A and B are shown apart, each in its own frame.
Chain A
Amino acid sequence: MSSFALAVRDSSTMLRRNLLHARRYPSLTLNLLLTPVMLLLLFVYIFGGAMSAGAGRDAYIAYLVPGILLMTIGSTTIGTAVSVATDMSEGIIARFRTMAIHRGSILIGHVIGSVLQSVLSVVLVGVVAVAIGFRSTDATALEWLAAFGLLVLFATALTWIAVGMGLVSPNAEAASNNAMPLILLPLISSAFVPLHSMPGWFQPIAEYQPFTPAIETLRGLLLGTGIGHNGWLAVAWCVGLAVLGYFWSASKFDSDPK
């Protein structure tokens, strides 16, 4: 078997294993969905009046949803870090390492599985958003496709980072702590309020991080607001994080296990 065929076959076996875990024990995935859904409901129904500054509920829902969708990805990837850390402490990984299988397949299986879970989670949260009144205005089929592509790319980037975080964490608790920035970053982005409404000293912090350009781009695609340079910025962030996460994870995984 060629090494590429071997990689594909073993990665799909590992993917099946991870999906089996997720299907059999969905509680982790579902728990992680609660955070974005609760924040969505909280901001729309409780804080919405004050936050929207009188612009009306529907307008604020429209403003909020792109950020919530990306936050869903951040939240899902915390689960990735936890399951990678848990998995690495299991004897089965030691077994995999002594088998003549494609080395990377173990991590690739985790990444693809996690990206699929992210997409599924985004769809579920999206359904909630539509149910409470979110409507995409004037998005063309191409823009929908681009939005979907951005979400997948963003999920891939955060997942590779989360895999690295999982690999350096000795246990599940540590992994969940280490991965905390993935859900905190959207809180200090333009997800809930526009950048220009933040204090001046804080604006750079909110601006120069992956969530803000990704949110602005998604907003532009779904709602027709201006994207400007945010599109390229978002893609650059995603590619950069994915590459960084990939090499980080690969080097951690290749070093001798404890």
Chain B
Amino acid sequence: MADLAIAANGLRKSYGDKTVLDGVDIAVPEGTIFSLLGPNGAGKTTAVKILSTLISPDPASGRISVGGHDLATAPQAARAAIGVTGQFSAVDGLITGEENMLLMADLHHLSRAEGRRVAAELLERFDLVEAAKKPASTYSGGMKRRLDIAMTLVGSPRIIFLDEPTTGLDPRARHNMWGIIRELVTGGVTVFLTTQYLEEADELADHIAVLNDGRIVAEGTADELKRIVPGGHIRLRFTDPAAYQSAAAALREAARDDEALALQLPSDGSQRELRSILDWLDAAGVEADELTVHTPDLDDVFFALTGDTDQPNEPKEAVR
């Protein structure tokens, strides 16, 4: 087994009688992207705050190590290994982007020349050269986030925590951020990413844990997660109501969508199953105008695992 960059056992945190994290286990191998996925209020930010030494876990928690250092006994050593970009921008708005970068260089005890070099390099890399002399408070959301990450990278951390790095960004800025995150990992950095966007976890993460109400309700690769929930189906759409009715009568186990004149058959989307369904449709004399294969995506996983309040209007429960 590869060395673990982050290892936490039975992570617990409660405020008064409100339990935010209720025994969370986390293991992130070096050089991978781990994504903690969950709705608002699931405890993602609290987990990041604890793992990044900002707040302390409840005493009942097990051992937590980050970068090989026990947070309880060697927090400074852990801090030296990490970089954190929080949900709310951690830039000093009163000073310029460049001054923010030089401040970080000073705090990482780089020499003056080295600090200037690193700052200039990162400002260039994150497309902030033009804005470098302006106060950070005048930056747009995307620019602030880029400056935030650039500041995090000054000390060349081996482990980077990104707490909802793309929340509030427009699609272009989000895709830029994804590119940045992928680049980091090719350099051997470990990334701990929280997000409420399933697409983001799917795009980036090697390993995903779904956090809900302070517990991890599922974990695995994106594909593994998709396999554990229902949601894959074949959708047959008809234009002729009569054809729809006769097909619905023939295919009793299909879920009906009378308004759209569509039927849904459960399927894992494999070629073999698809062929057998087609054969069966032929045998039943059903001729659909449109056939689409729907494989489960992380949205299905998310909604299936994190409660029923935001259930999408897909009749997949009726399918099985």
Say how far B281's CB is from chain A's closest CB, in angstroms: 57
Known: A97-B53, A101-B107. A21 touches B94 (CB 8 A): yes
B55 sits at the interface (CB 8 A): yes
**Complex-state Cα separation, A90 to B151, whole angstroms:** 15
Say how far A101's CB is from chain B's closest CB, in angstroms: 5
**Complex-state Cα separation, A94 to B106, whole angstroms:** 17
**Complex-state Cα separation, A153 to B53, whole angstroms:** 35
A98 in contact with B107 (CB, 8 Å):
no
B106 in contact with A13 (CB, 8 Å):
yes
A256 in contact with B55 (CB, 8 Å):
yes
A25 in contact with B94 (CB, 8 Å):
yes
How big is chain B's contact interface, by range? 20 to 34
Q: Which of A1, A10, A17, A95 has the most CB of B within 10 A?
A: A95
A98 in contact with B53 (CB, 8 Å):
yes
A21 in contact with B95 (CB, 8 Å):
yes
B109 in contact with A9 (CB, 8 Å):
yes
A20 sits at the interface (CB 8 A): yes
Say how far A11's CB is from chain B's closest CB, in angstroms: 11
B29 sits at the interface (CB 8 A): no
Chain A positions near chain B (C-beta within 8 angstroms): 1, 9-10, 13, 16-17, 20-21, 24-25, 90-92, 94-101, 256-257
Q: Which of A13, A21, A91, A97 sits near B89, CB closer than 8 Å?
A: A91
Per-position 1/0 for B35-75, Cβ under 8 A of A = 00000000000000000111110000000000000000000
Say how far B135's CB is from chain A's closest CB, in angstroms: 8
Q: Which of B88, B89, B107 sits near A99, CB closer than 8 Å?
A: B107
Stretch at the interface among B77-85, B244-252, B295-303: B77-85
B80 in contact with A100 (CB, 8 Å):
yes
Known: A95-B86, A98-B82, A101-B107. A17 touches B52 (CB 8 A): no
B107 in contact with A91 (CB, 8 Å):
no
**Complex-state Cα separation, A9 to B86, whole angstroms:** 26
List residues of chain B with CB within 8 A of the CB of A91: 86, 88-91
**Complex-state Cα separation, A36 to B92, whole angstroms:** 31
* B48, closest chain A residue (CB): A98
List residues of chain A with CB within 8 A of the CB of B135: 24
**Complex-state Cα separation, A94 to B85, whole angstroms:** 10
List residues of chain B with CB within 8 A of the CB of A94: 54, 84, 86, 90
* B89, closest chain A residue (CB): A91
Q: Which of A1, A25, A90, A101 sits near B92, CB closer than 8 Å?
A: A90
Known: A98-B54, A100-B76. A13 touches B107 (CB 8 A): yes
**Complex-state Cα separation, A92 to B86, whole angstroms:** 10
B143 sits at the interface (CB 8 A): no
**What are 6 A-B interface contacts by the 8 Å CB criterion?**
A20-B95, A25-B94, A91-B88, A94-B86, A95-B152, A96-B107
A10 in contact with B107 (CB, 8 Å):
yes
* A9, closest chain B residue (CB): B109
A20 in contact with B99 (CB, 8 Å):
yes
Say how far B13's CB is from chain A's closest CB, in angstroms: 10
B95 in contact with A256 (CB, 8 Å):
no
B141 sits at the interface (CB 8 A): no
B93 sits at the interface (CB 8 A): yes
Known: A1-B109, A13-B107, A91-B86. A100 touches B79 (CB 8 A): yes
**Complex-state Cα separation, A95 to B76, whole angstroms:** 14
A92 in contact with B92 (CB, 8 Å):
yes
List residues of chain A with CB within 8 A of the CB of B107: 10, 13, 96, 99, 101
**Complex-state Cα separation, A257 to B86, whole angstroms:** 14
List residues of chain A with CB within 8 A of the CB of B92: 17, 90, 92
**Complex-state Cα separation, A91 to B84, whole angstroms:** 11
Say how far B137's CB is from chain A's closest CB, in angstroms: 10
Q: Which of A24, A90, A92, A99 has the most CB of B within 10 A?
A: A99
B52 in contact with A98 (CB, 8 Å):
yes
**Complex-state Cα separation, A256 to B13, whole angstroms:** 12
**Complex-state Cα separation, A20 to B135, whole angstroms:** 12
B103 sits at the interface (CB 8 A): yes
Per-position 1/0 for B150-175, Cβ under 8 A of A = 01100100000000000000000000
Known: A92-B91, A92-B92. A97 touches B54 (CB 8 A): yes
Q: Which of B77, B93, B103 sits near A13, CB closer than 8 Å?
A: B103
Say how far B82's CB is from chain A's closest CB, in angstroms: 7
Say how far B73's CB is from chain A's closest CB, in angstroms: 15
* B99, closest chain A residue (CB): A20
* A5, closest chain B residue (CB): B109
B86 in contact with A24 (CB, 8 Å):
no
B90 in contact with A92 (CB, 8 Å):
yes
Say how far A196's CB is from chain B's closest CB, in angstroms: 48
List residues of chain B with CB within 8 A of the CB of A9: 109
List residues of chain A with CB within 8 A of the CB of B55: 256-257
* B152, closest chain A residue (CB): A95
Say how far A132's CB is from chain B's closest CB, in angstroms: 35
Say how far A112's CB is from chain B's closest CB, in angstroms: 16
Those of B230-269 within 8 Å (CB) of chain A: none
**Complex-state Cα separation, A256 to B57, whole angstroms:** 10
A95 in contact with B109 (CB, 8 Å):
no
**Complex-state Cα separation, A170 to B94, whole angstroms:** 19
